[in-house]
Amino acid sequence: MTDPTPVEIVHVAIDTLLEVVARSADDLRAFHDIVAKARIAPLPPFPRAAVATTESIVQNLRRIETELGEVLKALGLPK
């Protein structure tokens, strides 16, 4: 059995997570807007490496979504 984490440490961890998630959300929104505009423009050749990177990003975002769900569960909050 593990000892519970002190409340102060939990609050710092949550505050840090909120800050990082807020910045990431802003970055993802900006990225989304740029890519959405690119869809209507003629596309230059798209290198295979960019396709692989895109697939990696999607996998990482899915993993992050799962891990954030685990944090919510640990906090006793609904997803």
pLDDT of 43 strictly over 80: no
What confidence category does residue 1 fall into, taking pLDDT thresholds of 50, 70 and 90?
A: low
What confidence category does residue 57 fall into, taking pLDDT thresholds of 50, 70 and 90?
A: very high
Domain range list for the chain: 1-44, 46-79
Q: What is the mean pLDDT of the chain?
A: 89
- As a whole number of angstroms, the distance between CA 23 and CA 70 comes to 20
Secondary structure of the chain: what % helix, strand, coil (to 5)?
75, 0, 25
Question: Stretch 23-47: mean pLDDT, rounded?
Answer: 86
Question: Stretch 16-23: mean pLDDT, rounded?
Answer: 96
pLDDT of 66 strictly over 80: yes
| End-to-end alpha carbon distance in the chain | 26
